[in-house]
Chains A and B, each alone.
Chain A
Amino acid sequence: MNPINKLLLTGICILSFHISSGQEYKFGKVSKAELEEQSYEADSTANAVILYDKKEVYYEYNPTVRWFLLITEVHRRVKLYNKNGFDYASDDFLLYKNERAEERMSDLKGFTYSLEGGKVIKTKLQKDGIFENEYSENYNQIKFTMPELKDNSVIEYKYKIISPFVYNIDRVVLQDQIPIKKLEVSIKTPEYFNFKKHTTGYLPIDLKETFSNGQFVYVPERTKAADVLKQGGGNVRGQSGFSSKYRGKQNVIDYKITTDNFSMSDIPAFKNEAYSGNINNYVSSVVYELQYTKFGSSIEDYATTWEEIIKKMYSRGDFGGELNKTNYYKEDIDQLVGGISDPIKKAGLIFGYVKQKMNWNGNYRATVQSGVRKAYKEGTGNVADINLMLTSMLNHVGVKANPVLVTSNQKVTSLFPTLGGFDYVITRVKLPNGNSIYLDATDKYGEPNVLPNRVIQGTARIIAENGKSQRLNLRPGKPSLNRSSLQYEIDTDGTIKGKSNMYHLDYLAHNFRDRFGIYDQKSHEKRILKKYEIDELINYEVKGANQLGKPVNERFEFVVEDQIEVIDNEMFFSPLLFLRNKENIFKSDDRRYPVDFGYGFSDVYMVNIKIPEGYQIAELPESGGFKLPDDLGSFSFNAKIVNGMIQISVTETINSALILPEYYPSIKEFYNKIIEKESDQVVLKKI
């Protein structure tokens, strides 16, 4: 039944009234003052500024298809102070399409305004400045570029996107690469579509909610239009079967509209920083997620509680349904684990088998793409194909396993229960002793509880079949360890010869494998020579790179010639040689969002130095240490003389994967001090 038909059962007339909002920025009317302006007050270095950014999203009833369409109107006015801002005179946007329907663009209009001898010259954006491209399988792209630009020109454009995908309101992004002087957004949703919203980013967002009424005339007629209605979204159902009872009748239908308004001024430009993790979470925006649809008394929940989500998820063919299929692998798996009873052994075998057999095609999605059966046959699939298959296999052999829904680091974290918020799924195994193990078989180097950054830098939620769900922190509890030792001796001419032995553990081993796992000997040597700037590398050896669960061990011998400063009768050098931190990884003066290292880590260095014949130790760096506040990290440096050898031990630890912006000055200073301390000099004097 068409959802709108359901309304007729309760159709009562209410007078509608119109709310109009005050407009300071009328399209086509650019003031002289705007053209004369030479720089932006709040940030005089800006090459361009968005003077006005307006976005209106609303639903419009279309009598022809007898269904709503989602309309987005954009109006933007941009000031270009100079040529370096001219990039902002071109813009583009994407139009979604699938096999059934597509978004359309209409009414793209634009003008360039310039001041010439005190006169405002207005040039229209013509057809020859507008281009349509096919961007990808699911998107077309409209690009346009404004004509006749001069320094201090103002450009202005507006367009409309008409979307049949009424269940999806695009994320409203409130920040750009250039500042925005004035931003106004209004989102109007009829009572039939109910969204939950949450915000991201560090800017305060002031949202005002108002209510009004709308009205449309519904003419039910039995036509093929029912198919058109289905365009409304991938998961609309029950729209067939128009009742003949209403044929030819007109019905005036009133409905309530909720309007969300937010208005902001002088929004600073968004800057990308190092170690950002999931940057999507830090750009200021409002995210709309469909919660339920309500046509009369017929309510369909899309997201209410996690329990609802779970039920839905398990009832979906492309998720729960895939978990129940077993026959495609049954024979192989039974053979694989035949005769083994230890659940941990079985889990290990199956995890290894899926990792080896299946190849991730790079696609993120919480639901299957080709389906587990086909994926299994072909050996490739998306995240859900692979990890749902893994979950199913584990359960099949009696190892208790559940899927874990994840929002990866490619997507905005979902705060409310919603299906659309997830784009990834991994597997949890519950051991008989109550412990949990997390597995991701898309990662060839994955180990139990060692997951790729795309997962740990996201957020996760477990679903158990009993209907309980809980949010999970998948980040490792302990910092991962790098343990390095150097043993070296110094020639009288200042040449250093020595051995290095390094162990990378846990996540640092994973990181090594992920980046260099398939390197050949030559590539490793090249990498070490480049990274450490040593003059000669001898007998480089790596062990454990392909033995998951073990540390990665690198050993090599080295010769370095330029680490020692010989002045008169003395030698000066930093004892950590090429292992010392030389440059601060944080260069910005301030930071608005967290530092995300992925996981905590600890670098431990042990150095033994044999001093040359005929020299004695004149100076040794002082031992000491310092800490980051709140136990976020620590550093210690110890120097001593043992049996005539210099012994240095250094430990650098970051305990927390995430460092909040208020600690940014502390961590920057922490690294400054580390660099300073590690450059302290040993002085050897000729006897």
Chain B
Amino acid sequence: MLKKILPYVVAVFVLYFSKTSAQEEVDLKFSSIDTTLLKDANAVVLSEDVQIEINAINSITVKNKRIVTVLNKYGRGYANSAEGYDPSIKIKKLEATVYDAYGKETKKYKKKDFKDRSRHDGISLMNDDRMLYFDYTPVDYPYTLVFESEVQKSSTAFITPWLPLLGYRLGVQKSSYTIVNNTDISIRYNETNFEGFPVQKDESDGQRKYTIDRMPSRLREVLSPSYRNTVPMVRATLNEFYLQGVKGAATDWKTMGKWQYDKLLTGRDELSQETINEVGKLTEGLTTKREKAKRIYEYVQGKTRYISVQLGVGGWMPFLASDVDRLGYGDCKALTNYTKALLDSQGILSYYTVVFANERRDIDPDFAAMQGNHVILNIPEEDEDIWLECTSQTAPFDFIGDFTDDRNVLVVTPDGGEIKRTKRYEPEENMLHTQATINLGADASMVAEIKRESKGLEYDWNNGIRFETPKDQKVYYKELWGYVNNLEINSLNFENDVDAITFNEEVKVSCRNYMKKVGSRLLVAPNAFSCDQSNLPKYEDRKMPLEISRGYVNTDEYIIHVPQGYTVSSVPDKKIIETEFGKYSWELEKIDDASLKFKRYLKIKDGTFPKEKYEEYRKFRADIKKIDKSKIVLKQL
């Protein structure tokens, strides 16, 4: 249960957009919008202009003018209604005007009409982010909202990026992004996913401008790459900057890491002699680095818990290790820094590591700037590094799960930053094996004992059930095997082996009517506990590549006892499907007149495939699904 996204980057990750007024008039009439932009859209950006002026190492002005036509209630989120700020941001101008479909002004909000409110991130106990916002109840659709703002920021470590295609079902008529650098500080740009997009770039003295025109709306497709990896984005960063009052300089990851180490981490890891002695005692007698690190990790898990507090530079700088030691809680930065301090005290080298958690996203190796939203700990090893998730009280040692697996991260060392890749879980490592003994009754009933063993990411996906209440646990299995009507869960037993990273479930179930009576015969599906329940849509014209983010292997083996007085009329042939996405087999074997053995194997490989392959994969899963639920006939003797 690592599901805790930590606001490593707390401040101002809201996208705000600005624009200067010296521009051609935008036609606000709905009838003037090109119909190709309206297709499948919930909103259309008529025009967006972001103007960023870098005035000094501690002063950036961001001007925004964004004009959005909202076509229906689902498109409301694409029209700006708020500007975020914190103590390092000053909102200088703020204005919003609503126009009806004919381009007639219907409502105007001046800065004083905006309400001031704290911004909850839903996680933190405390943060100092606030926003100015207005509530607008649309009177009619479509309507157009013109939003203008100007903010001045003294933290220059983050420069508002350009993400013109903000999301699905959004058409974009025009969007532009200009950076004017009035200082001598060098600026670095990072352009991603430009291929196939008509982005224009103009450069002149200390100024750069990007423009994109007439982009139709895009629709979400299942199993496609994360949105961010499919749309153009421009990021910029300064070689010298301020972060919440802390001065910095960096040109590459080495220097960026060095700065973070020196300014944000150094001196925050002191521990009392008492604590050091305690940890020393704890690791006494242990010989290997791994053993010691594990003992210390478990000590941290036992002593601390995750609590988020994000104030000012505290959004980037961990609390003191001694504070975590005293309070027994902290956020990802604090807990990681604390674990690192404890390891240090026992001579074990480890590194504070910045990462994008949850949805897989790389720290871009080619663009050294403030990135990431979470922190983990890296212990370098000869063969394979150890990775620790310090915010979890229950994760096994060296187990990061799908929260931070297989992605580029920034490892912060005293010598500077280094990009490393976290552990990748191979399909064979992510194993779920289900064993069952199934007793069928002549009254169509079933009684079964099921044992499931999970390893690797399957461990990650399955072990959370042990934390639920017994009532919810029962409901969970009833939903998992929802295709078995009236399933009764008679007993549940879990065994969590944190050292072997294995989760075992033992479930006893019964069902009054598992089989279907057809005249004197009984119809039964041998695969009672692993029916594929995926339901992948067909696309007439798939646009995105197929991405299977993680692979796995699921195996099943059941002994099925046929009711007395019945026999299997015929045993179907083994079915095997092999594709480039993986392999599937379904097999039924007669042990004797009264019993059968059912075996199932499914391996799904991870990977990215061209969009044409999606339909093949869909077919693969549909075939599996059909075979999975296939039935056999039991005849009365």
Contacts and interface: CB of A to CB of B under 8 A. Distances in A.
B631 A131 contact: no
Contacts of A589: 471, 474
Interface stretch (B11-19, B114-122, B404-412): B114-122
A15 B537 CA distance: 80
Interface stretch (A336-344, A580-588, A632-640): A580-588
B125 A147 contact: no
A213 interface: no
Given A529-B537, A562-B629, A565-B631, A133 B328 contact: no
Contacts of B626: 561-562
A215 interface: no
B126 A361 contact: no
A676 B486 contact: yes
B482 A582 contact: yes
B632 A567 contact: yes
A443 interface: no
Interface string B483-519: 1011000000000000000000000000001001011
A256 B485 CA distance: 62
Given A582-B483, A583-B483, A584-B485, A131 B467 contact: no
A484 to B, nearest CB: 21
B619 to A, nearest CB: 10
A83 B485 contact: no
Contacts of B625: 562
Contact of B469 (A45, A619, A675): A45
Contacts of B570: 567-568
Given A359-B138, A359-B139, A562-B625, A587 B117 contact: no
A148 B327 contact: yes
Contacts of A520: 40
Contacts of B393: 83, 86
Interface stretch (B251-259, B302-310, B360-368, B547-555): B302-310
Given A619-B518, A619-B519, A361 B40 contact: no
B299 to A, nearest CB: 12
A45 B470 CA distance: 7
A360 B138 CA distance: 9
Contact of B137 (A45, A361, A526): A361
B473 to A, nearest CB: 9
Given A572-B518, A572-B631, A676-B485, A137 B326 contact: no
A320 interface: no
B186 interface: no
B538 A147 contact: no
A379 B485 contact: no
A515 B626 CA distance: 31
A680 interface: yes
Nearest to B623: A562
Nearest to A618: B519
A358 to B, nearest CB: 8
Given A129-B327, A131-B309, A672-B485, A83 B394 contact: yes
Interface string A362-384: 10000000000000001110000
A136 B120 CA distance: 10
B630 interface: yes
Nearest to A356: B140
A378 B483 contact: no
A202 B117 CA distance: 38
A588 B631 contact: no
A86 B305 contact: yes
Contacts of B483: 582-583
B394 A679 contact: no
B223 to A, nearest CB: 14
A84 B622 CA distance: 39
Contacts of B327: 126, 128-129, 147-148
Interface in B136-174: 137-140
Contacts of A562: 622, 625-626, 629
Contacts of A90: 125, 307
B365 to A, nearest CB: 37
Contacts of B629: 562
Interface in B202-226: 219
Nearest to B327: A147
B613 interface: no
B265 interface: no
Interface in A105-150: 126, 128-129, 131, 133-137, 143, 145, 147-150
Contacts of A535: 538, 622
A590 B513 CA distance: 21
A683 B470 contact: no
B72 interface: yes
Contact of A583 (B309, B328, B485, B569): B485
A145 B73 CA distance: 39
Interface string A90-102: 1000000000000
A83 B475 contact: no
A147 B328 contact: yes
A647 interface: no
A681 interface: yes
B43 to A, nearest CB: 13
Contacts of A561: 622, 626
A533 interface: yes
A522 interface: yes
Interface string A560-582: 01100101101010000000001
A567 B633 contact: yes
A533 B629 CA distance: 14
A271 interface: yes
A530 interface: yes
B137 to A, nearest CB: 4
Contacts of B120: 133, 135
A584 B328 contact: no
B490 to A, nearest CB: 12
Nearest to B393: A83
A518 B73 contact: yes
Contact of A359 (B137, B328, B471): B137
Contacts of B482: 582-583
B633 A150 contact: no
Contacts of B305: 83, 86, 89, 149
Contact of A588 (B138, B475, B569): B475
A84 B467 contact: yes
A360 B518 contact: no
B412 to A, nearest CB: 26
A681 B535 contact: no
Given A518-B72, A529-B538, A676-B485, A134 B118 contact: yes
B329 to A, nearest CB: 6
Contact of B139 (A143, A380, A526, A679): A380
Contacts of B478: 584, 587
Nearest to B74: A518
B503 to A, nearest CB: 16
Contacts of A379: 139-140
B135 interface: yes
B249 interface: no
Contacts of B236: none
Nearest to A536: B538
Interface in A222-273: 269, 271
Contacts of B291: none
B479 interface: yes
29 contacts: A45-B469, A83-B394, A133-B118, A133-B120, A133-B126, A134-B117, A134-B118, A135-B120, A145-B307, A145-B329, A147-B327, A148-B326, A149-B305, A149-B329, A150-B302, A271-B469, A359-B138, A361-B137, A379-B139, A522-B219, A561-B622, A565-B630, A567-B632, A568-B633, A572-B523, A582-B485, A583-B485, A587-B478, A588-B471
**Minimum-distance CB pairs A-B, first 4:** A379-B139, A380-B137, A131-B126, A562-B626
Given A150-B302, A572-B631, 16 more contacts: A86-B393, A90-B125, A128-B327, A143-B125, A145-B329, A149-B328, A380-B139, A522-B40, A568-B569, A568-B570, A568-B633, A582-B485, A584-B478, A589-B471, A681-B523, A683-B519
